Amino acid sequence: KGAAARVPGLVLTTPSELDAVPGRGLRCAVGDRRVVVGNAAFMRELGCVVPADAAAMVAAWERQGKTAMAVAVDAAVVGVFAVADTVRREAARTVAALEAMGIDVWMLTGDSKVVADVVAEEVGVSHVLAQVLPAEKARKVAALQAAGHVVAMVGDGINDSPALAQADVGIAVASGTNVAVDAAEIVLANPSLTAVVTAIDLARVVFRRIRLNLVWALGYNCVGIPLAAGALFPLLALRVPPMFAGLAMALSSVSVVTSSLLLKRYRPPAVARGGAAAAAAEVESRKRASERAAASARR
């Protein structure tokens, strides 16, 4: 808009009847003309014909991992352009770290399959579902849950909110939209993708510590209470004085608290701390992606 406003004599008209279609694009009225901006599928649905030269440009952009869009005025395509998200540097090593933890990583995107495959190959994701609408993302999460999987969904946009709400654990990035943040159970203050690895690893460590504390406390009491009650006195004449029984009970509580306080010494996984280990993980992830691409080319 800023660039167009500098064209001498150009008057900008405020659009009306704006209709945004998730996963497709938007349409509106500008004066007495109908304007549509969206992907190729949206153009076909509305009967807008994309010229051959424009279609060739769209195909070339998609092979480069870019999302191509077209602009149509009164059902005639007048221009095409492409946008692209920069793949984060830590994306590949984050995927590699999650897979090393035994987690299957899926990519659900509204982009075309060509674009999705390019990005998936770059970051090392094996499972890709492209051209999905927000509701379809939620249905895919539900299907995985029905198959017996525990699903965590990571997202930051409005289109991700249904899937975030459906997942067993929704993880949103704090810099994302308010809708996504409200739908998630975990909000990552750190914008780095490696924070997902840290969140899952920390949750596992905490859960293991909870189980350890429960087993210790139950075992301690199962042994200590019968002794304090004199259960072995008839057999072994063994009796625990009340003062020692009270001290033992206090020590039991102290041991559980001390065990929990040891969590303060938790260190995030190497991938979240950076350094040589993170770099090695990223190299390994890219190597696996190249091997998958070579295998696909042979097929």
Best CA proximity match to 171, nearest among 137, 189, 150, 196: 196
Q: What DSSP character marks residue 185?
A: S
Rama region for 131: left / alpha / beta (φ>0; ψ in -120 to 50; rest): left
Residue 97: CB atoms within 10 Å: 28
What are the backbone dihedrals phi and psi of residue 83, each rounded to the nearest 5 degrees, phi first? -125, 155
Query: Domain 91-193 is in which class?
Result: alpha beta
Query: Domain 2-83 is in which class?
Result: alpha beta
Which residue intervals of the chain bear CATH 3.40.50.1000? 91-193
**How is residue 273 written in tokens?**
């701390």
Give yes or no for residue 182 having a pLDDT over 50: yes
Per-residue pLDDT tens digits for 130-160:
888 888 999 999 999 999 999 999 988 888 8
Packing angle of the helix pair 194-228, 91-100 (nearest 10 deg): 30
Model pTM greater than 0.85?
A: no
Which residue intervals of the chain bear CATH 3.40.1110.10? 2-83
- How far is residue 62's CA from residue 205's CA, in Å, rounded to a whole number? 42
Per-residue pLDDT tens digits for 34-43:
999 998 888 8
Best CA proximity match to 99, nearest among 109, 91, 108, 87: 91
Residue 147 is predicted with a pLDDT of 94
- Beta pairing class for 67-73 and 76-83: antiparallel
Q: Residue 89 in 3-state DSSP?
A: coil
Q: Which helix (H) or strand (E) holds 164?
A: helix 161-166
Residue 32 contacts by C-beta under 8 Å, 6 or more apart in sequence?
A: none
**How is residue 245 written in tokens?**
């029984």
Residue 288 is predicted with a pLDDT of 61
Q: Report the amino acid identity of residue 219.
A: G
Please report, rounded to a whole number, the percentage of residues in the chain having pLDDT higher than 90.
Answer: 32
